[in-house]
Amino acid sequence: MIASETGVFSREVKDILIADIALSIGFSLALTGGIFYVSSGGFLYFLPIAFVAVSLSFVLHELMHKFVAQRFGAIAGFRKSDNGIVISLITSLFGFIIGLPGATMIYAPHFTRKEEGYVSIAGPLTNFVVFAFAFALGSALFPGFAHTTSSVLFGGGGAAPVPYLELALSFVAFISIYLAFFNMLPVFPLDGSKVYRWNRPVFFATIIAIFALLGVITPILALLPWLVLIFIIAFVISRIYRAVLF
């Protein structure tokens, strides 16, 4: 039994590490403009930032799903998705990312809709905590921190150089709230579809909070076309790959 449990744990650690690295590469590509603008220098410059941001935002998001599910008596563990990793990397080549490198798989013979909703909302709420930590620390250390992400993403070539730590904290905040947005899309199998089915007021309150936090660090109108595009692509992928992603 101990050997079996150790093997399962080792697989989970391996899967989440592969997913973490793949998503970090994807975000680094996306942040440097994708294949049309990427340079090796820019990619390598952003890669450590992306890895820290993804590790805090994605890994903690998935672990919180697991811990809450286990509190309800479920068996839960993260499993990578090879198809999802390919989708994540391909979309990142075009300057945005559909992050589907894997998910926490939950096995429970008796799981109520409310319990499923609690497990699903736990991930995005974790992203809120990561956002709050990065934003509070960045604001305490750097004047004008709230505008750092906006100036880097939309400032063009005239944007002033940004200290590396400030840039890292700003993208921890941005990636965390972006992952909250993506996961709260009401598209199967994302968290949003389960939260929407469980409690619509909670779903809409969470969406409003996500857009409010995005608005603190980025111009929403500038992001809106990409957010709509991401929703459409996620919806199409959900319909096509519903049976084969995991």
pLDDT tens-place string over residues 72-115: 888 899 999 898 899 899 988 888 888 889 889 888 878 888 99
Report the number of distinct structural domains present in the chain: 1
Residue 235 lies in a domain: yes
The pLDDT of residue 2 is 42
Residue 246 lies in a domain: no
pTM value? 0.86
Active-site residue, from 12, 62, 116, 166: 62
- pLDDT-derived band at 242 (thresholds 50, 70, 90) equals low
Domain holding 60, by residue range, is: 2-241
The pLDDT of residue 246 is 45
Residue 7 lies in a domain: yes
Mean pLDDT of all residues in 7-22: 86
pLDDT tens-place string over residues 148-184: 877 777 664 444 578 899 999 999 999 999 999 999 9
Residue 69 lies in a domain: yes
Give the tokens for residue 63: 């672990």
Q: Is the pLDDT of residue 9 over 70?
A: no
Residue 89 lies in a domain: yes
Is 166 assigned a catalytic role?
Answer: no
Q: Report the C-alpha gap between 233 and 226 in whole angstroms.
A: 10
DSSP letters along 181-221, please? HHHTSS-TTSHHHHHHHH-HHHHHHHHHHHHHHHHHHS-HH
- What residues contact residue 105 under an 8 Å CB cut-off, 6+ apart? 76, 77, 78, 79, 246
